[in-house]
Structure 1
Amino acid sequence: MPAPTTPDAAASAAVAEKQPATTTTARRRRLRWPSFSVQIVAGLVLGILLGWVARNMGPVDAGTDHETPNWLTTTLGTIGQDFVTLLKAVVPPLVFLAIVVSIANLKGVTNAARLAWKTILWFAITSLIAVAVGITLGLVLQPGKHTSLDISAGVAPDHTGSWIDFLTGLIPSNFLGLGASTSLEPGADGAASATTNVSFNVLQIVVLAFVVGIAAYKSGRKAEPFITFSRSALAIVQKVLWWIIRLAPLGTLGLIGNAVASYGWDLLAPLGRFAFAIYLGLAIVLFAVYPLILRGNGLRVRSYFRGAWPAIQLAFVSRSSIGTLPVTERVTERNLGVPREYASFAVPLGATTKMDGCASIYPAVSAIFIAQLFGIHLSITDYLLIAFVSVVGSAATAGLTGALVMLTLTVSTLGLPLAGVGLLLAIDPILDMGRTATNVAGQVLVPVVVAKREGILDLEQYESASAEDLFTDDESSDDDGGPTSGPDETSGEASDDRELVGAAR
């Protein structure tokens, strides 16, 4: 006689019957959705292959005055540039709202001031180490004495950096931190047409956000509606950002493909030792100096790179600290356990002032290269000036693609010929990939170190850092990072996202 079936036994049997279907669904998801890191690598490899094909296709009307890129090069360039444009589009509202909300969430402005001061201090410490590495490599490798470049081919750049750029960059010209420039471009009929370009200054937005956030904090209860609105708006911006980040593998394909098709590697021959010195310095800082700092503060190196790698990858292909800023902030907070209240102003500040690649290693090696090329002796005072400019003047670069402003600022401060800068521009895009990756790695490193020293770093989250945590849906947590609902109360989209993350792992 069969044993009577209890409610618990019936429930267990029902679960057992559903188990195969659940397993099958999970397997389908594993096959359908590779991990984010695999997607990035796949985009990188495919982009290199397509870039190589595009380069071998050659330009249209080659050898004539009307030479233009072929259709594949144009397509790759458009895909990559559109992705960076999408990222940059969310930077102004993301930075402004995140800083305002973070200050409003802090217990006191004194705490924010202390964190900001320690962040700036660590920016300076790591920049000094990076510039010391650059100066050492310049003196040891002597790239300026081992080149086949012709000095007479050097042309001074049209735009140069100055200390005025740094000072004016701190003062907002309007509430939105926007700027506009007008240029004349010749048309097809020979007539000139005016083109107006609108851009934003992230450093000015940071200053504005700090002022508004402190004012909202000081206003007390009167500012609560504004703070509530800012929190809601920030959640919307972060959701849009989450969608854009999903396109990162496609953007990687376009960016690296266009770089290979447009520049190649044949330009490196006359500047081989110079390029080697730059990349060696970047590698020393990224894979030796940063790990030593992490270990010195009791942090695992592998966890740091595992969590920060999505931002470092994107920085390498996009060549823009500002374009990478949304991803940099997300990995710092989501993957590495830095509190949102701190990360939301430390990372944007770093994107405008923390440039170990573009503002420390590169100008140091380049200045020594130019001095050696033109036979100019540099004194101890000159080397101290290089260090001073690297630490104090890096804000003049403002996170833009390339480091021309910082390089010309260093060269002009030392009184070196600006024509030497023109000799280096041919391979600048190739060098800029490594420079920007190092920049972003440092922009993640400092908030992690400061948070650890202040006792506010989530060590459990840091130790379990994963690139896939980048896609954990924000709907499962409130503004303070705590849970807002149980497993059965989350929306279908959030549930799907978690299943996707689990499958990717």
Structure 2
Amino acid sequence: MKRFSFSLQLLVGLVAGIALGFVAKIWDVAWLAETLTKAGQIFVQLLKLAVPPLVFTAVLVSVANLRNVNGAARLATKTLMWFLITAFVSVAFAIGLGLVINPGQGVTLDTGAAKAVDTEGAGTWLDFVTGILPTNIVTSFTEVNVLQIVFLGIVLGAAALAIGDKAEPFLNLSRSVLELVQKALWWVIRLAPIGTAGLIGKAVSTYGWELLAPLAKLSLGVYAGCLIVLLAVYPTLLAVWGKVNPVQFFRNAWPAIELAFVSRSSVGTLPLTQRVTIERNGVDRDYASFAVPFGATTKMDGCASVYPALAAIFVAQVFGVHLGVGDYLLIAFVSVVGAAATAGLTGAIVMLTLTLSTLGLPLEGVGLLLAIDPILDMIRTATNVTGQMVVPVLVARSEGRLDEAVFNAPPSPLDSAPSGAAQPAAA
């Protein structure tokens, strides 16, 4: 297998999955469809298994590592600023696209059938804010509440910064756990070609045109909106503000983008995202150890900007609700400040319910979109992860923390386990 690059292995898995999925669907091969489904499920389960310890230790260590970075406050501010700017630009393009294509116009669906969908506790700003605060630390981890885990990591990381050397034993333990989890997760990521075949094969064998037809305009709109961000917004920012070659960036970043597309998990892709950002895109290790984990849990241009904007316009048109200028401004506001609601897990249901409830739109609209959510989530997550790599490159370039020799070199192979340079820096 080492004769073939990791990117090529992922591509082979993708093509094989599509072919096997079509075979299972066209000839109704039940055992093949079941095998593909199980292969995909096992891969995703392995990724999710690492989510609680990975998120907690990555956020905690990245916050604590800020003390090793000169101008840490400035770097953190710039990173957050670029997160907000790219989110706003993404949602602006999405709203414009939605007004052009009118995704819900003329669509006739059984809206009553969606009323059984449970969106309780996920649809208001109060629910979102109170949901961040843990009531039981153990429950936060056992129920994989990523928002609460991120909150705990930030608080303990800040506390470690405040007490200084006394926190060093705890930080050393956290760094060790983080390295162990990243090593184990890298072994899982090496199985991605098989997981890719299973996930894509399941999607092809399960979701046919008969399901997509009523929602075709929305589906195409989400893909078009994400591709505009991927192929127009990000390259323009890289070329104009970052003064780096966008083509070279995508060459370097492609393995992480590809894995994000099939895994539908920003957090699951995090070790590869961080490795690509450091080893291929040349971002300073100390800064990347903060920016990449932070982005994996809060930077969601696909799930929190493009998709909710188009979906809200779709739901409003299906239910016959008129949206005014103020409503579109609310969509933009929710997308820019509410991205953490998606928290790096597969799916964007929380963000969608947050947007719909803010606009006063029927939450039953969520149920209308659940069937095609896995298909849309692939391009959304790829967009998320790309943005999580673009921003560190932009900030590092402006701060003199980008190694241009590494960035412009032929992409380094990713077939071996992560090197020490890819790990968060120790104090």
TM-score by length of 1: 0.77
Provide the rounded CA distance (Å) in 2 between the counterparts of 1:170 and 1:289.
31
Aligned in 2, Cα 1:178/1:326: closer, same or farther, shift over 3 Å?
farther
The 3-state SS of whatever aligns with 1:426 is coil
The 3-state SS of whatever aligns with 1:206 is helix
Contact 1:310/1:467 (<8 A) preserved: no
1:252 pairs with 2:212: no
Aligned in 2, Cα 1:343/1:166: closer, same or farther, shift over 3 Å?
farther
Residue in 2 aligned with 1:147?
107
2:134 to 172, 193, 206: 172
TM alignment of 1:56-455, pairs within 5 A:
56-58=26-28, 70-107=30-67, 111-151=71-111, 154-155=114-115, 157-159=117-119, 160-175=122-137, 178-179=140-141, 198-296=142-240, 297-455=242-400
User: Amino acid of the residue matched to residue 287 of structure 1?
Assistant: L
TM alignment of 1:36-75, pairs within 5 A:
36-58=6-28, 70-75=30-35
Provide the rounded CA distance (Å) in 2 between the counterparts of 1:110 and 1:475.
21
User: Amino acid of the residue matched to residue 45 of structure 1?
Assistant: V
Provide the rounded CA distance (Å) in 2 between the counterparts of 1:312 and 1:478.
20
Contact 2:273/2:292 (<8 A) preserved: yes
Contact 1:36/1:467 (<8 A) preserved: no
Contact 1:155/1:423 (<8 A) preserved: no
Residue in 1 aligned with 2:411?
466
What number of residue pairs does the alignment pair up? 423
Aligned in 2, Cα 1:330/1:205: closer, same or farther, shift over 3 Å?
farther
* Worse-superposed segment, 342-351 or 436-445: 342-351
Contact 1:359/1:394 (<8 A) preserved: yes
For residues 284-337 of structure 1, the C-alpha deviation after alignment (integer angstroms, 9 at most, x for no partner) is: 111000000100111111221112211211121122223222322222223222
For residues 64-111 of structure 1, the C-alpha deviation after alignment (integer angstroms, 9 at most, x for no partner) is: xxxxxx332222122212222222323333333344444444445883
Provide the rounded CA distance (Å) in 2 between the counterparts of 1:399 and 1:102.
16
Contact 1:241/1:326 (<8 A) preserved: yes
User: Amino acid of the residue matched to residue 167 of structure 1?
Assistant: V
Give identity over the alignment, percent: 59
Larger Rg: 1
Unaligned runs of 5+ in 2: none
Higher RCO (CA < 8 A, seq sep 6+):
2
* Worse-superposed segment, 230-239 or 360-369: 230-239
Provide the rounded CA distance (Å) in 2 between the counterparts of 1:292 and 1:102.
29
Unaligned runs of 5+ in 1: 1-30, 60-69, 180-197, 482-505
Aligned in 2, Cα 1:319/1:278: closer, same or farther, shift over 3 Å?
same
What is the RMSD of the two structures over their aligned residues, measured on CA atoms? 2.7
Aligned in 2, Cα 1:465/1:174: closer, same or farther, shift over 3 Å?
farther
* Worse-superposed segment, 465-474 or 354-363: 465-474
Contact 1:242/1:471 (<8 A) preserved: no
The 3-state SS of whatever aligns with 1:416 is coil
Contact 2:68/2:286 (<8 A) preserved: no
